[in-house]
């Protein structure tokens, strides 16, 4: 006898619920003033720190730990949860879903949470196949999701059909009717193989699928999660312009709706940012179309795109030690991990800094920093001046 399909949790983040959530957690002492960032013109309040779910072995034990982390975070003032269709071979999606359900049952409204998934990298459910070629033929080609010509680095598939599959996989395994955002993960990996112009031709129909998913209520916003794309110099072949991405999104919205004045929903980007990888704040490589050139973080703000930081811990290194200037400036915290989080969340223009974790104790540092106000702008900027003066 077939099991009934579980009911998806309805709703999505909205201004009223996220504001009430922020006010409650500030009132209860879980969050300091300044811990929440405004999500563009939607006026939603998103926590300055968010939980990422990339790390950890693909085991039931880690599934349970991630679910517990997600629930505790949502109950404690952290309302941004980030995952991806390929994280831990797709297992993180269901782990996040279990954590979200437990939080809802404990009284956190779905509308107070901002839930993100990503697509592009092959999900490989069940782990790496013994015969990758046979797996690809059976699971990708035979399903109409794409061909070997669509694959980059043997692991990244950028087709409308596959992205649509990963949206549906994310929704169903996370157990939610609507994702607050869906990001194309590192599309720049295709550039060395096919060039930037060909990548943009691939992205346009993918963005059309995303615009249709918005219209159908399956997602609310979309964007891209980059590794190199925003950090490199303008003349680097991997460079991706925010204005160019928005131009593609505008065309996609027009094609998806048949309306010349259609508004796109490309509203979110992530890029690595931390004490070592500072390019998002210091490299002026992005023309905004408003007569000036800014850093990626500045440009995102001017172009109405919410910027999130990834790699906040620099693969764990910044949990062990801090840059000297940062250690001197942020001395009022318990350890280097908290210092790294406080540095990132205090960066003007970065709305949320994501922290990947599968160890429940690591959430303690996130919750401790949430109780602190971010650094005043002048104190933050002084760290750059002192670093230059060394």
Provide the pLDDT for residue 4.
59
Whole-angstrom distance, CA of residue 343 vs CA of residue 320:
15
Provide the pLDDT for residue 130.
96
Determine the Cα angle at 119 with ends 117 and 124, to 5°: 110
Q: Which of 24-28, 106-110, 331-335, 354-358 has the lowest mean pLDDT?
A: 331-335
Provide the pLDDT for residue 3.
58
The DSSP letter of residue 176 is B
**pLDDT value at 390 more than 60:** no
**pLDDT value at 233 more than 90:** yes
For residue 24, the domain's CATH number is 3.20.20.100
Whole-angstrom distance, CA of residue 178 vs CA of residue 8:
9
> Does 166 fall in a domain?
yes
> Does 7 fall in a domain?
no
Mean pLDDT, range 286-312, rounded to an integer: 93
Q: Which of 127-136, 150-159, 198-207, 289-298 has the lowest mean pLDDT?
A: 289-298
Residues near 105 by beta carbon (within 8 Å), at least 6 away in sequence: none
> Does 2 fall in a domain?
no
Q: Which domain holds residue 122?
A: 15-389
Whole-angstrom distance, CA of residue 15 vs CA of residue 20:
9
> Does 202 fall in a domain?
yes
Pair 79, 114: CB distance under 8 Å: yes
> How many Cβ atoms sit within 10 Å of the Cβ of residue 149?
7
> Does 1 fall in a domain?
no
Q: Which residue from 31, 67, 48, 52 is spatially nearest to 368, judged by alpha carbons? A: 31
> pLDDT, tens digit, for every residue of 192-219?
999 999 999 999 999 999 999 999 999 9
**Per DSSP, which regions of 264-357 are E strands?**
266-272, 286-287, 293-294, 306-310, 352-356
**pLDDT value at 158 more than 50:** yes
pTM of the model: 0.96
> Does 3 fall in a domain?
no
Provide the pLDDT for residue 156.
98
Q: Which residue from 105, 241, 100 is spatially nearest to 180, judged by alpha carbons? A: 100
Average pLDDT, the chain: 96
C-alpha pair distances (Å), 314 with each of 56, 320, 326: 16, 10, 15
Provide the pLDDT for residue 378.
96
Q: How confident is the model at residue 245 (pLDDT cuts 50, 70, 90)?
A: very high
> Does 5 fall in a domain?
no
Q: How confident is the model at residue 6 (pLDDT cuts 50, 70, 90)?
A: confident
State residue 258 phi and psi, 5-degree precision: 75, 15
Mean pLDDT, range 101-106, rounded to an integer: 98
> Does 72 fall in a domain?
yes
Mean pLDDT, range 354-373, rounded to an integer: 97
Q: How many domains does the chain have?
A: 1
Whole-angstrom distance, CA of residue 309 vs CA of residue 255:
31
> pLDDT, tens digit, for every residue of 26-59?
999 999 999 999 999 999 999 999 999 999 999 9
What is the number of residues in the chain?
Answer: 390
Q: How confident is the model at residue 387 (pLDDT cuts 50, 70, 90)?
A: low
């Amino acid at each position: 006898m077939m099991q009934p399909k579980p009911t998806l949790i309805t709703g999505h983040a909205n201004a009223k619920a996220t504001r009430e959530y922020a006010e409650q957690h500030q009132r209860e002492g879980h969050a300091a003033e300044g811990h929440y960032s405004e999500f563009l013109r939607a006026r939603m309040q998103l926590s300055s720190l968010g939980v990422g779910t990339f790390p950890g072995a693909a085991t039931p034990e880690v599934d349970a730990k991630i679910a517990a982390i997600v629930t505790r975070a949502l109950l404690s003032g952290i309302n941004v949860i980030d995952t991806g269709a390929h994280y831990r071979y797709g297992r993180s999606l269901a782990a996040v879903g279990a954590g979200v359900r437990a939080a809802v049952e404990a009284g956190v409204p779905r509308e107070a949470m901002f839930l993100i998934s990503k697509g592009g990298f092959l999900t490989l459910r069940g782990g790496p196949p013994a015969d990758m070629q046979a797996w690809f033929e059976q699971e990708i080609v035979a399903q109409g999701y794409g061909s070997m010509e669509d694959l980059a680095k043997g692991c990244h598939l950028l087709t409308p059909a596959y992205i649509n599959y990963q949206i549906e996989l994310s929704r169903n395994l996370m157990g939610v009717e609507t994702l607050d955002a869906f990001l194309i993960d590192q599309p720049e990996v295709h550039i060395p193989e096919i060039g930037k112009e060909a990548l943009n031709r691939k992205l346009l129909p993918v963005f059309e699928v995303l615009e249709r998913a918005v219209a159908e209520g399956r997602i609310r916003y979309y964007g891209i999660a980059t590794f190199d794309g925003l950090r490199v110099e303008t003349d680097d072949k991997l460079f991706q312009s925010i204005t160019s991405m928005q131009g593609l999104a505008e065309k996609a919205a027009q094609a998806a709706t048949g309306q010349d004045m259609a508004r796109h929903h490309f509203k979110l980007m992530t890029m690595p940012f931390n004490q070592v990888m500072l390019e998002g704040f210091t490299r002026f490589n992005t023309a905004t179309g408003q007569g000036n050139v800014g850093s990626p973080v500045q440009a995102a703000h001017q172009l109405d795109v919410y910027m999130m930081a990834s790699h906040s811990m620099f693969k764990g290194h910044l949990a062990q030690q801090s840059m000297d200037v940062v250690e001197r400036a942020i001395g009022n915290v318990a350890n280097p991990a908290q210092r790294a989080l406080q540095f990132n969340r205090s960066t003007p223009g970065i709305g949320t800094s994501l922290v990947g974790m599968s160890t429940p104790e690591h959430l303690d540092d996130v919750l401790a920093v949430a109780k602190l106000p971010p650094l005043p702008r002048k104190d933050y900027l002084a760290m750059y001046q002192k670093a230059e003066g060394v």
